[in-house]
Chain A
Amino acid sequence: MLTVEHLTVRYGDFTAVSDVSFRLEAGQWLMLCGPNGAGKSSLLGALSLRVPSAGRLLMLGQDLRTMKPAERARRIAVLAQRNSAAYAYTVEELVRLGRYAHRKGWLAAGADPEGEEKVEKALAAAGLTEYRRTSLLALSGGELQRAFLAQVLAQDPCLLLLDEPVNHLDLRYQRQLLDLVAAWAAEKPGRAVLAAVHDLSLALRYGTHALLLQSGRAAGCGTPAEVLTPERLHSVWGMDVAGWMRDLAEPWQRD
């Protein structure tokens, strides 16, 4: 579905991502892992074309960079790390905006025969049907992130990019959001997810594949179990990551 070849992102003299290549197929959930500054966000920025980059980016055989913004948005949706609301839009108005790229014609409210159904489905999937008329300013952080996820679902893409989507959410919302994404990916064939995450246990739990980045370079790519081995984590993070995670969970271990 997505082919990335020799992707390089530079900010002035600094190289954030250097010569990274990978393929993402339908049905896969690729977890992007690595310490701070490893280039996870830059890589996602390059894939959403927010950040200029060099190298080949092919989406379903088509060059991503030559696509029109709406064409791109019909295929790729992005859930940002942190979203905020500045005005009192309702949840429904936010979700409806996800259909922007599907509207046809010169009128902004142009024909979008599937629109209503997709919006309703997205609201229901995110558990926000009852909140549809609620102002975004009245939502908690977790609810707001879920509302933005509903917008992304209404966008009906085949590839979903997530940039640290659960970073500032409490555990309950983390699980809720990731379960929602997993359900979305499993619902129909031809869908894929690419997510940057800090929490390696989440990468192991939800990912079908993992790409480990170190200082902008790929340090491993494959299934999470192959890539996120204790030895490799130790060398990338410079600490015994696996041991530390085990220690953290230890108080809850049942005999």
Chain B
Amino acid sequence: MQKHRLAPWLMPALLPAVLLLCVCAGSVSVPPGQTLDLLWRGLWGLPLPEGSAAAIVLRVRLPRVLCVALTGASLSLCGAAMQGLLRNPLADGSTLGVSSGASLGAVLAMAFGLSVPGLPYAGTMGMAMVFAFLSLALILTLAFGLDRSLATHSIILIGVIFSMFATALTSLVISFAGEKVKSITFWTMGSLSGVNYTQAGVLAGFLAVCGGVIFRCREELNAFAMGEENAWHIGVNVRRVKLVLLMTVSVLIGACVSVGGSIGFVGLVTPHMARMVVGPNHRRLLPASLCAGAVFLMLADLLARTIVRPVELPIGVVTSLVGAVVFVVIFLGTRKGGAPC
């Protein structure tokens, strides 16, 4: 159901505007004209003017805003894909416990100093991905054992229980982490301060590959959203597509969690907003969710670093505050029968 002809173009148009806003605004605001000039010079390697503005924009804010946008886009895309695949409007990395599982993996890697020589971040990232996939596999197996129809609410219930379990294990690991406690704890709340261009590049790479795979499966996702049985009957290779999508989503969530910690509810909130604008067809929903996720998380991050200046909130706190409300609204909607949109 497409509400308006121009609606699909709204989100991509917002993206650069919000990106610029988030680079300009902050504890020290830089005028948009100057920011654009700095970005232009930075892009082509031209000489930069004197002053702190250049360092703030190019060294601190731009890599952070890019990482935030990429994380938001990735998490939102994963949420949209899982909601279609499981035919469950409440599915998301955080509600299914995948993010908590990934966090556990990443924290284990950090606490025990697991790393791959020559590949920065590979230790935490790899562990986060593996744990994300194992969590997803475990949750779906349990849910399937409990209720063969994989009903909306039982799967979420198991996700929440698993999430608590994984969080408890994470706390246990952290309490043995010695001097790393503070940095790990702040990371688990979800924060993207102090990230660099390398991390942005890694995220962009994963988003490009995994996003490509997910978008390639858009028709299959439409079929799954009509029901897995129906997908089987119209000739979808159900097992293969499901496995590919679950692995892809785990890899992407694992990458995001290892960079920014567990940022809850992004994948729940933004696909819903996108669905209200462009309808449920994944051909339009996936790109719209991608853009909406980037915009939403950039704004949440802006709020997190400006609302109680000079203190900076973890971004996960902001998204969870918004997300919990949206979760309740959707949950009430599903109880009335069907998704609200």
Contacts and interface: CB of A to CB of B under 8 A. Distances in A.
Interface of A: 48, 50, 68-74, 77-78, 80, 83-90, 93-94, 97-98, 100-101, 103, 108-109, 133, 135, 137, 148, 151, 155
A69 B339 CA distance: 29
Interface string B310-341: 00000000000000000000000000001101
A88 B339 contact: yes
Most buried by A among B229, B230, B235, B280: B235
B222 interface: yes
A70 B235 contact: yes
A73 B229 CA distance: 13
A87 B232 contact: no
Contacts, number: 90
Contact of A88 (B1, B216, B232): B1
Contact of B230 (A80, A88, A101, A133): A80
Contact of A80 (B216, B233, B339): B233
B218 interface: yes
Contacts of A84: 227
A90 to B, nearest CB: 6
Contact of B275 (A87, A90, A108, A133): A87
B325 to A, nearest CB: 21
Nearest to B152: A86
Contacts of B237: 68-70
Nearest to B233: A78
Contact of A69 (B229, B235, B279): B235
B223 interface: yes
Interface in B17-68: none
Interface in B165-221: 216-220
Contacts of B219: 97, 100, 103, 108-109
A85 B338 contact: yes
A45 to B, nearest CB: 10
Contacts of A103: 219
B233 A86 contact: no
Contacts of A89: 1, 222, 225-226, 279-281
A141 B244 CA distance: 34
A100 B216 contact: no
A101 B234 contact: yes
Nearest to B223: A97
B236 interface: yes
A181 to B, nearest CB: 16
A108 B218 contact: yes
A71 B237 CA distance: 11
Given A88-B1, A100-B219, A83 B230 contact: yes
Contact of B232 (A69, A85, A94, A151): A69
Contact of A87 (B225, B233, B234): B225
A70 B275 CA distance: 29
A135 B89 contact: no
B238 interface: yes
Given A69-B236, A97-B234, 7 more contacts: A70-B235, A78-B233, A84-B227, A89-B225, A97-B219, A101-B235, A135-B1
Nearest to A80: B229
B225 A86 contact: yes
B87 interface: yes
A137 B336 CA distance: 12
A67 to B, nearest CB: 10
A89 B88 CA distance: 14
A141 to B, nearest CB: 12
A89 B226 CA distance: 9
B222 A97 contact: yes
Interface in B74-106: 87-89
Contact of A77 (B218, B233, B279): B233
Contacts of A90: 1, 279
Contacts of A135: 1
B229 A88 contact: no
B218 A74 contact: no
Given A72-B235, A86-B338, A93 B230 contact: no
Given A84-B227, A100-B219, A137 B338 contact: yes
Contacts of B88: 86
A162 to B, nearest CB: 12
A48 B235 CA distance: 10
26 contacts: A50-B229, A69-B237, A70-B237, A72-B235, A80-B233, A83-B227, A85-B338, A86-B89, A86-B338, A87-B89, A87-B225, A87-B339, A88-B1, A88-B280, A88-B341, A89-B1, A89-B222, A89-B225, A93-B281, A94-B226, A97-B223, A97-B230, A98-B234, A133-B1, A148-B230, A155-B234
A70 B219 CA distance: 14
A103 B218 CA distance: 14
Instruction: Give the interface centre of B216, B217, B220, B227 by most chain A CB atoms within 10 Å.
Output: B227
